[in-house]
Structure 1
Amino acid sequence: MVSSLQQLHALTGLRFLATAHVVAYHVYHLVFSGTEAPPGLHGLLDSGYVSLGLFFVLSGFILGYNYLEQPPGTYAARKAFWVARFARIYPVYALGLALDAPAYLKGLRDTWAVDPSRGLQHAEALVVTPLLLQSWTPWTAMAWNGSGWSLAVEAFFYAAFPFLAGRLGLLGPRALAVGAAVTYGAAMVFPALYMTVDPDHTGGTASAYNSGPWMLALRFNPLARLPEFILGILAARFFLLRSGESRRSHPVALAVVCAGVIAALAGSTVLPFPLLHNGLLAPVFAALFILLSWSQGAVARVLASRPLRLLGEASYALFLLHMPVLFAWKAVLKRLGESPTAAWAVVAFVVGSIGLSLLVHERVEKPARAWIRDRWARRGTEQSAAGL
């Protein structure tokens, strides 16, 4: 990684807002189920799944920004890259699985009692989920700590990145424009095909909570989401090519993009779900990352402020742990005879989840990451000393 690159702090703050969007989406559906907010607010709350697409584009952008100028081209460099990615994601991912294990095992037991064949499918998650392979099959993608499906997709991206970086990092401006258009077309072709063929016979009613097996495959399969990641890499290449503009602000363009994102989310109920879920806004997100990274304006300064940066750094833990915490909190409230929709209960969940994420980031995520990377570095030194 090129250590001399400037830190894109505004994107760290943006990560927290995107994670908060996902959390609000789950609270809206799992706590306030059956209650619908006013149309615009309903659209914002009902579109939390779109932030997963934002994360996929952002992942490509950040990795491209850090590695395109010095891609991991050798076997040793690729191995070091993969170890660094493993150290970054797996400790908190494993903690999320541990916290959600009681709920998953109870669900497995109940499903097996009703339908052993479905129970067997559900049980496959015991094997594939710890290996970050659950998103390759629709029935295992969300079986165990549902938020983790996106990490299985990210794991595929990480595996592919060293081989993509060496090629995409050589593209010039014209090739970038063609590549971006082709990649965006690839992102849209399968959702459009699904809408045309309607293999699940949804009659146009497919949604995050009303999906057949083909829709689940479209939503979760890493190959279907790869174009979003590649668009992020291409955006990073464009940003690096225009590095001379890194200190210039584009306030009007940034305002238009931010307003466009908010308007699309607020009106998400009138947009085709398959397209919106699988990258309809991906080019807009790529433009947002570029403009925020260039900007010195108020929006960028707020996102780059110390509180939002701290929350952004802990947002990965919040993303992976909020679902187990939510289910556990609902169980506690049920035992107490309290309503999960009470204002104090919702506030307690939000504050508790954020507090837990900050604690896990400092006490689990950072130490575990350092330990894994240190162990790997020492192993490499020992192998070099032994002449291996």
Structure 2
Amino acid sequence: MHSAVLPLHTLQALRAVAALLVLAAHASQIDGRFFEQPVSDGSWILGFAGVDLFFVISGFVMVYITTGKPRGDAPFIGRFVYARFTRIYPVYWVFTLLALAAYIAIPGSLTRDLSDLHLWQSFTLWPIDNALPVLHVGWTLTHEIYFYLAFAAFLCLPERWLPLLLAGWAGLVVAGSLLLDGLPAIGTLIVNPLTIEFILGACAGILIMSGERRLARAALVAAAVWLAAACWLVWPQGAEDFPSGWSRVAAFAVPGALIAYGVISLEMQGALKAPGWLVRLGDWSYALYLCHLLVLSGLVRIWVSALPDFGPLASLAFLLVSTTLSVVVAGLAFHWLEFPALKFTRRLGDRLFRGTQHTRRAPAAHEDPAVRDGPAGSQQG
């Protein structure tokens, strides 16, 4: 496989699109719950497909940052795991504490009592049976942590084995999901069909990093047709109608992998350039997915208690203001929380893993698309 430096501006743009899709889906849910005449409808729930795109992106990024890097090298694998965990946990812990504070401050207006929260599982991202973490979007990060640990195990073996390892992993997921039932939470996680989305992204990464990029335009055409057909077939009336399991993978992960392969390949060929503002929003995408539910939930409670409901205009105004505020808070969180945390953990990692060969990254953290992983979502997302 070739290990040349790969431009990833289009990948950051895809992250931005994914985050905005999930934001739209959650905003629609809150719109329908708190406003008598919501302007959004059930079709907005299709935005939860942004989670599937995030999982595909994560699979691609893992291949990108490890192609041509040492296999079977304990310090390198340790640095890999350290880098992945420090991308996820520190900022996630801050927003989880904020969510916990909200439960303590206004327990009666939220969906769960304090006694129903799974605190240690929420902070460690350990899988929970039939429940969500304190910060609801954390369920997707539980999948991410599992992906990273499994991929770290693959780094113990020769790189040429990676396609076979991914195929074996996919076979385990297929067999387990079809044959096993009544598993504990950790077992359910291991055989969850959503793992296939990560594997599909990794396969796209293998193709691109091997130099096979000739099918970019065909892949994008196929993705457009596939996605249009999938949306038409599953067109939801509400969150309960959003597909799950293998239906979800088929509907959204397959076109997501085709889109990732297509746009990155075109960028490498010099045929596509992502808009700068969308790339910047992609930088903020992790902060956006962590903060947006807190912003939406807090704002709507202030809104409905302080302002009269003036029909559809109230709903429309809330959607516009809450979306804008979510993006603004995400930008502030990135610059004042996530970016400093990334710099600190990177410097600490340089000291802890002195002498190890780093994973591929750009010099500046704010320009480094490989350093911000993670999908956005809710239980339906």
**TM-score range, shorter-chain basis?**
0.7 to 0.9
Question: How far did 1:166 drift?
Answer: 4.8
When residues 51 and 299 of structure 1 are mapped into structure 2, their CA distance, relative to the original with a 3 A threshold, is farther
Using the alignment, how far apart are the partners of 1:219 and 1:279 within structure 2? 22
Q: Using structure 1 for the length normalisation, give the TM-score.
A: 0.75
Which residue is 1:8 aligned to? 8
Distance 1:381 1:71 in 2: 16
> Is the 8 Å Cα contact of residues 191 and 218 (structure 1) preserved in structure 2?
no
2:203 maps to which residue?
234
Q: Is the Cα–Cα contact under 8 Å of residues 230 and 251 in structure 2 kept in the other structure?
A: no
**Any residues of structure 2 matched to 1:133-148 within 5 Å, and which?**
133=126, 136-140=127-131, 142-148=132-138
Conservation of the 8 A alpha-carbon contact between 1:25 and 1:46 = yes
Q: Residues 58 and 232 of structure 1 are in contact (CA less than 8 Å); yes or no, is this contact kept in structure 2?
A: yes
Q: Which deviates the most, 146-155 or 221-230?
A: 221-230
Percent of aligned pairs sharing the same letter: 25
1:144-186 CA-to-partner distances (Å, cap 9, x unmatched) read 11111111211121122121245483148xx66x965x76565
How far off its partner does 1:311 sit? 0.6
Q: Which residue of 285, 295, 303 corresponds with 1:325?
A: 295
Distance in 1 (CA, whole Å) between partners of 2:269 and 2:233 is: 26
Q: Which residue of 2 is the match for residue 267 of structure 1?
A: 233
Q: 1:94 and 2:93 equivalent?
A: yes
- What SS does the aligned partner of 1:359 have? helix
Residue 102 of structure 1 and its aligned partner are, at CA, apart by: 2.9
Kindly tell me: are residues 111 and 4 of structure 1, through their superposed partners in 2, closer, same or farther at Cα, counting changes over 3 Å?
closer
Task: Supply the AA of the counterpart residue of 1:32.
Answer: G
The corresponding residue for 1:47 is: 46
The separation in 1 between residues aligned to 2:29 and 2:112, in whole angstroms, is: 26
Q: CA deviation at 1:290?
A: 1.4
SS at match of 1:62: helix
Matches within 5 A, 1:24-43: 24-33=24-33, 42-43=42-43
Q: How does 1:375-386 map to 2 (within 5 A)?
A: 375-380=348-353
State how far apart, in whole Å, the 1-side matches of 2:77 and 2:57 are. Answer: 21
Q: Given the superposition, is the C-alpha separation of residues 107 and 66 from structure 1 closer, same or farther in structure 2, using an over 3 Å criterion?
A: same
Q: Which runs of 5+ in 1 are unaligned?
A: 114-118, 200-213, 383-388
User: Which moves more between the two structures, 19-28 or 49-58?
Assistant: 49-58
Name the counterpart of 1:355. Answer: 328
Superposed CA deviations along residues 39-66 of structure 1, whole A, max 9, x for unmatched, are xx744x2223332222122101111122
Q: Give yes or no for the alignment of 1:132 onto 2:100.
A: no
Q: Deviations over 1:365-385 (max 9, x none)?
A: 111111112123234559xxx
What's the secondary structure of 1:130's corresponding residue? helix
Q: How many Å apart are 1:131 and its aligned residue? A: 1.2
The amino acid that maps onto 2:124 is L
- Give the direction of change, closer, same or farther, for the CA distance of 1:29–1:193 in structure 2 (3 Å limit): farther
Question: Equivalent residue for 1:312?
Answer: 282
Aligned equivalent of 1:366:
339
Q: 3-state DSSP class of the match of 1:47?
A: helix
Query: Could you tell me which residue of structure 1 aligns to residue 147 of structure 2?
Result: 157
CA distance in 2, matches of 1:380, 1:71: 14
* SS of residue in 2 equivalent to 1:78: helix
Deviates more, 1:101-110 or 1:274-283: 101-110
* Secondary structure, counterpart of 1:129 in structure 2: helix
Equivalent position amino acid for 1:321 in 2: C
- Counterparts of 2:3 and 2:62 in 1: how far apart (Å)? 13
Shift of 1:364: 1.2
In the alignment, the residues of structure 1 paired with residue 188 and residue 322 of structure 2 have an alpha-carbon distance, to the nearest angstrom, of 28
Partners of 1:110 and 1:307 in 2: CA distance: 35
- When the two structures are aligned, how many residues end up with a matched partner? 342
Look up the SS of the partner of 2:47 in the other structure.
coil
1:316 to partner: Cα distance: 0.8
After superposition, the Cα gap between the structure-2 partners of 1:301 and 1:75, relative to the gap in structure 1 and judged at 3 Å, is: same
Of stretches 47-56 and 324-333 in structure 1, the one that deviates more from structure 2 is: 47-56
Q: 1:256 aligns with which of 222, 243, 259?
A: 222
Check whether the contact 1:183–1:231 (CA below 8 A) recurs between aligned residues: no
1:272–1:96: structure 2 CA closer, same or farther, 3 Å change rule?
A: closer
Q: 1:109 to 1:292 in 2, by over 3 A?
A: closer
CA distance in 2, matches of 1:269, 1:112: 29
Per the normalisation by structure 2, the TM-score is: 0.76
Compute the displacement of 1:71 (Å).
4.7
Q: Unaligned stretches of 5+ in structure 2?
A: 237-241, 356-381
Alpha-carbon contact 2:61-2:205 (below 8 Å) kept: yes
Letter paired with 1:351: T
Q: Which amino acid letter does the alignment assign opposite residue 291 of structure 1?
A: G
Provide the rounded CA distance (Å) in 2 between the counterparts of 1:299 and 1:267. 35
Whether 1:221 aligns to 2:189 is: yes
Cα root mean square deviation, aligned: 3.8
1:331-386: per-residue Cα shift (whole Å, max 9, x none)? 1112203449532222111111111111211221111111112123234559xxxx
CA contact (8 A) 1:16 1:315 kept: yes
Change in Cα spacing, 1:260 to 1:380, as seen in structure 2 (3 Å) is closer
The structure whose residues are more often helix, as a share, is 1
Could you tell me how far apart the structure 2 residues matched to 1:299 and 1:265 are?
31
Cα displacement string for residues 181-230 of structure 1 (whole angstroms, at most 9, x for unaligned residues): x7656555666679xx9x9xxxxxxxxxxxxxx9x969983541333322
For residues 343 and 112 of structure 1, the distance between their equivalents in structure 2, rounded to whole angstroms, comes to 28
